[in-house]
Amino acid sequence: MNTVIKPQSANKKEIKMNTQSDKNQKPKIITIFLVMFFILAGGGLLAATRFGDEVIGPAMMFFFALCFSAIAAWSRKNQWAIIPAGLFTTIGLVVTQGILIPQSEVTGHFYRFQVLFPRMEILVPQSAVTGLGFMLLMAATFLVFAIMSKKNWWAIIPAGLFASIGLVVVLDILVPHEAYPALPGTLTWGYYTWVLFLGLAVTFGVLWLLRKILPTSWAIYPAAGFLTMAVLFIVEGVHFSEYWLETMLLVFGLTLLLAVLTGKRLAAGQQVPKINA
């Protein structure tokens, strides 16, 4: 008689093979961690003796970034490690930037940037430079994580948030404006807050444009809400600090009403796309 292998037995064999491979990978991962630790620890100590103790902090940040990068490169299942790797790399680069770029004795905590055309000199506060670098590098980290797999589509949202804040910092450096006056005990809104709202609207708009391959048909509602906030901020101007709460509640209510009225119609006419890794 011919024997037929049951699917359950085949699944059990695959599970055993996967568990054995996972057990074999653990010693290798530990070995990699130890090797990187000794290399970077030795390099950090040598750099500390040559350049001072201030380089120990960036060296530790780069060590953790390298560890998480190795985890991410080890297997596609470890793509989550890209985010902490990018975070530690960003912190390390920002701290290193403050060490390497010399500060002027006249301007103090300001960096001098020479612009050839039009010929001018821009004095940028150190906090603005480090903040801008942090925002742009974090945006790049989440963007790379989103590109790695369609299942990581949600990372487009923090990428757009960090990029929008970075754009606000750039505009505030190039064309500085004072923040709108606010009453004591209330929130202070910057002149370029509308750029932040517009950037978030663009972020969710991009997600909505990808609705045919991603389950993001809902993104049209926050995109419309943030776009409305940007327009109202420009219209209200200096008075936005007085009516910001009322404005946000109004926009949120209208957006929620729009979602309720059009949500059923969109759900009936569209199918949720399946995401493959």
Condensed to tens digits (0 to 9), the pLDDT of residues 137-147 reads 999 999 999 99
* Calpha distance 144→138 (Å, rounded): 10
- Name the helix (H) or strand (E) containing 6: none
- 83 in any annotated domain: yes
Which residue has 């209200």 as its token pair? 236
- Residue 113 pairs in a beta bridge with 122
Confidence band of 13 (pLDDT split at 50, 70, 90) = low
Report whether pLDDT(15) > 60.
no
Confidence band of 21 (pLDDT split at 50, 70, 90) = low
Q: Please, what's the b/e burial string for 45-81 (b: 16 or more CB within 10 A of its CB; e: otherwise)?
A: eebeeeeeeebeebbbbbbbbbbbbbbbeeeeeebeb
- 22 in any annotated domain: yes
Pick 157 or 126 by higher pLDDT. 157
Structure confidence at residue 189 (pLDDT): 63
Q: What percent of the chain has pLDDT over 70?
A: 61
Which residue has 């009322």 as its token pair? 246
* Calpha distance 88→83 (Å, rounded): 9
- Residue 129 pairs in a beta bridge with none
What total of structural domains would you count in the chain? 1
Pick 15 or 43 by higher pLDDT. 43
Contact status, residue 29 vs residue 75, Cβ threshold 8 Å: no
Contact status, residue 215 vs residue 275, Cβ threshold 8 Å: yes
Condensed to tens digits (0 to 9), the pLDDT of residues 198-227 reads 999 999 999 999 988 888 889 999 999 999
- 26 in any annotated domain: yes
Structure confidence at residue 60 (pLDDT): 79
Q: What is the pLDDT averaged over residues 142-154?
A: 91
Confidence band of 20 (pLDDT split at 50, 70, 90) = low
- Alpha carbon 113 to its chain centroid, in Å, reads 27
At residue 192, what is the residue type? Y
- 31 in any annotated domain: yes
Q: What percent of the chain has pLDDT over 90?
A: 18
* Calpha distance 170→178 (Å, rounded): 14
- 162 in any annotated domain: no
- 55 in any annotated domain: yes
Please provide the distance, in angstroms rounded to a whole number, between the alpha carbons at the two ends of the chain. 42
Structure tokens at 185: 């005990």
* Domain extent at residue 31: 14-100
- 80 in any annotated domain: yes
Confidence band of 243 (pLDDT split at 50, 70, 90) = confident
Spatial CA neighbour of 163 closest among 133, 135, 142? 135
Structure confidence at residue 163 (pLDDT): 94
Report the 10 Å Cβ neighbour count for 224. Answer: 19
* Calpha distance 164→168 (Å, rounded): 6
Structure tokens at 237: 């101007």
